[in-house]
C-alpha cells in the first residue's frame, strides 16, 4: 500500500515597501494588522513563508500517521 497525501496550502501575498519586504495570507491581505515584516530581502521573507508552510504540512500530516483526524489549523502568526 502506497501512501498518498495531498495538501492545499495557504496562499501568501508579498509586498515590497520602503522599509522592506512584508507578507500576509492572501485571503487576509486587506487587513493592515495581518501583514508581517519588514524583512531585509525577498530571500528572508521567502524563508519565513517556507517555514510557516512546513509547519502547516506537519500539523496536517502527523495526525494522519497517528490514525486520527487532522487538528484544526491555528491562525497564522500564532
At 32-72, the pLDDT tens digits run 888 999 999 999 999 999 999 999 999 888 877 777 655 55
Cβ(37)–Cβ(45) below 8 Å: yes
Q: Is residue 59, in this structure, part of any structural domain at all?
A: yes
5 within a domain of the structure (yes/no): no
Tally of structural domains, the chain: 1
Domain range enclosing 25:
12-66
**Domain contains 4:** no
pTM value is: 0.73
Whether residue 30 lies inside any domain: the answer is yes
The three-state secondary structure class of 8 is coil
72 occurs within a structural domain = no
How far, in Å, CA of 75 to CA of 68, rounded?
21
Q: CA-to-CA distance for 9 and 13, rounded, in angstroms? A: 13
| Residue 71 falls inside a structural domain | no
Contact by Cβ (8 Å): 39, 22: yes
Q: Is the pLDDT assigned to residue 1 strictly greater than 80?
A: no
Whether residue 37 lies inside any domain: the answer is yes
How confident is the model at residue 75, as a pLDDT?
53
Amino acid at each position: 500500500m502506497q501512501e498518498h497525501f495531498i495538501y492545499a496550502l495557504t496562499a501568501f501575498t508579498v509586498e515590497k515597501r520602503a522599509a522592506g519586504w512584508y507578507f500576509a495570507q492572501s485571503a487576509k491581505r486587506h487587513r493592515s494588522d495581518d501583514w508581517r515584516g519588514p524583512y531585509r530581502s525577498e530571500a528572508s521573507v521567502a524563508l519565513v513563508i517556507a517555514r510557516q508552510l512546513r509547519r502547516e504540512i506537519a500539523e496536517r500530516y502527523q495526525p494522519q500517521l497517528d490514525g486520527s483526524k487532522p487538528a484544526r489549523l491555528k491562525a497564522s502568526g500564532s
